[in-house]
Structure 1
Amino acid sequence: MSRAHDRRMRLAPASRTPSPRAMDTAHRTAPTPADYDLGQGLERGLAPDPDQRPTGRRFAGVATMIGSGLSNQTGAAIGSQAFPVIGPVGVVAVRQYVAAIVLLAVGRPRLRSFTWWQWRPVVGLAVVFGTMNLSLYSAIDRIGLGLAVTLEFLGPLCIALAGSRRRVDACCALVAAAAVVTLMRPRPSADYLGMGLGLLAAVCWASYILLNRTVGRRVPGAQGSAAAAGISALMFLPVGIAVAVHQPPTVSAAAYAIIAGVLSSAVPYLADLFTLRRVPAQAFGLFMSVNPVLAALVGWVGLGQSLGWTEWISVGAIVAANALSILTRRG
């Protein structure tokens, strides 16, 4: 081979065929609620390798997670201040309106292009979305913020443990089950209707996760979640009108409900989009598992809803079960 030819080979541009790593990076898109399970982090590995992330970005992601969790629980606590005037139904109706405005603005769904195959899970997601919030807020009204959120959290925990065959997950399931039995033990002050509503919220959250997976596969981007939020808001439109007619809201009650919608819907959704790009999926899921503790603390400090030692131990056991399941996973 001549020197000239060797020189041309050294100066020739590198092959334009992308490496597998580059192709993987190029196909990553902005995460949506369908890309991760609430309480379990990402489903599709959208968070980049934490070792390649600057420390400042990781710190910003952690700070955002803390702010998102506190915002969510504080919004629920503020919304409960409007219960005496418009009830949980009125507050949930306003929350659905706020969620629809935010998600429709972010997702911008092309509704006319949806097929019936795409509409079916979207409609199901809308029904589950509304039922989940209504049952949760009704449970908060009866048994308090901390216990209601703890019972609701059993939904994603069961989804995480259901398909696993690991012994550690079986132990985690037993710990969580024992904690639930302790929380729902017979006693004079037990409100079983409130606890039942909390468990209904858990079933709805589990269904929300499964439906979100289906919607994420069938509808691109955040369009499916946005369409579901819009349908849910339309479903609650007559409910909101009926509440306004029969229980006219005061200015303060309306303000509480709107603030609850912003803090519990808009802020957490946008914060999660920011967080998922800056922290590992495992860290995100681990932090989400602490939400019952945050709810109990906000209920105690903001609403004076104190828990006994038995309740605190049960809440801690459920959180520990989820944390142990996440920390012992590989990959």
Structure 2
Amino acid sequence: MSTSRLSTFFPALAVLGSVTSLAVGTSYAKQLFPLIGAQGTSALRVGFSALVLLMVFRPWRWTTSRADAGTIIRYGITLGVMNLLFYMALRTIPFGIAVAIEFCGPLAVAMWSSRRPVDFVWVGCALVGLLLLLPLGHGEPLDPAGVMFALGAAVCWAMYIIFGKRAGHLPAGHTVSLGLCAAALVVVPVGVAHAGMALLDPKILLFGLGVAIVSSAIPMSLEMMALKRLPKETFGILISMEPAVAALLAMGLLAEHLTPLQWAAIGCTVVASVGSTLTAKRAVPLVPGAPA
């Protein structure tokens, strides 16, 4: 294999590894829900992720201006709320579907940045996918509360990208590690209030640390490596596979079997995401560590 092909193959493999690691970690995180709830699980995931990335990136090495600190705090709060809402959605709707709904956030940002006629095709495709998933009485309706939590996570993901763009001049490790600290200050108190002393069980803490590493630390590191070596368009296409990968892994790890209509909805979301990436007038900054 030529050097040029290798330089594209390995970063692409890193993105797919990131998507897979995120899906596996989130699937295992769901197993903690009966013990500490979605709130407690989110607290462990975000809290441990912040600690791990602080040790890895050591953000105190950089000077942070007051303006940058404000941007990072907003970025982190949005990240924390997004994670919490997403885990709340997972209580009652399948993992793959929650990811597909949440993808509406970055899709909206990508399409708004272009607003060309072809984008209406992708908007229509995304809307079809969303309508197939909404609890409107067709097929097996999803839990309305779960759908609303997923839609809230989608809004937060859109805001997360916007705030991440404003912090784009800072080192990625600096932004993500400090942002996760701000996220932890939002999510951990909610988890403690809900789960209480159960969070201090050594087995739960160890499981939570594993979830944080597999669903946050590893994916973020792989994505940041890939972003430095791949065109943003290629990265966007690969990351668009996330809803399908999540649905497939959830089928094996969580026994969450979707209906043909729900698979069609996920397919519409993937097509809309790939299409908007391919036809984007200008690249929208992609921030590592987004969702689930």
- TM-score with structure 1 setting the length: 0.77
Q: Tell me the SS of whatever aligns to 1:167.
A: coil
Equivalence map 1:166-315=2 (5 Å) = 166-187=116-137, 189-217=141-169, 219-220=170-171, 222-243=173-194, 245-247=196-198, 251-315=202-266
Q: Deviations over 1:170-202 (max 9, x none)?
A: 111011112211210423643010000000000
Matches of 1:142 and 1:232 in 2, distance apart?
Answer: 24
Question: Residue 88 of structure 2 corresponds to which residue in structure 1?
Answer: 138
- Between 1:92-101 and 1:234-243, the stretch displaced more is 234-243
Structure 1 residues 167 and 225, CA gap change in structure 2 (3 angstroms)? same
Correspondence 1:103 to 2:53: yes
Amino acid at match of 2:28: I
* C-alpha RMSD of matched pairs (Å): 2.3
Q: Extract structure 1 runs of 4+ deviating beyond 4 A.
A: 248-252
Amino acid at match of 1:190: L
Q: Deviations over 1:253-301 (max 9, x none)?
A: 4343222211110000111122223333221110101100011111111
Deviation, 1:118, is: 2.1
Native 8 Å contact 2:62 2:174 kept in 1: no
Q: Deviations over 1:22-41 (max 9, x none)?
A: xxxxxxxxxxxxxxxxxxxx
Native 8 Å contact 2:37 2:195 kept in 1: no
Unpaired runs of 5+ residues, structure 1, are 1-51
Q: Tell me the SS of whatever aligns to 1:142.
A: coil
Structure 1 residues 226 and 246, CA gap change in structure 2 (3 angstroms)? closer
Matches of 1:99 and 1:71 in 2, distance apart?
Answer: 14
Q: Deviations over 1:48-101 (max 9, x none)?
A: xxxx95322322222222211110001000000000000111111111122212
Unpaired runs of 5+ residues, structure 2, are 283-292
- Between 1:284-293 and 1:222-231, the stretch displaced more is 222-231
Could you tell me which of 45, 55, 72 is aligned with 1:122? Answer: 72
- Between 1:231-240 and 1:130-139, the stretch displaced more is 231-240
Amino acid at match of 2:228: R
Amino acid at match of 2:75: L
Deviation, 1:211, is: 0.5
State how many pairs are aligned.
Answer: 279
- TM-score with structure 2 setting the length: 0.87
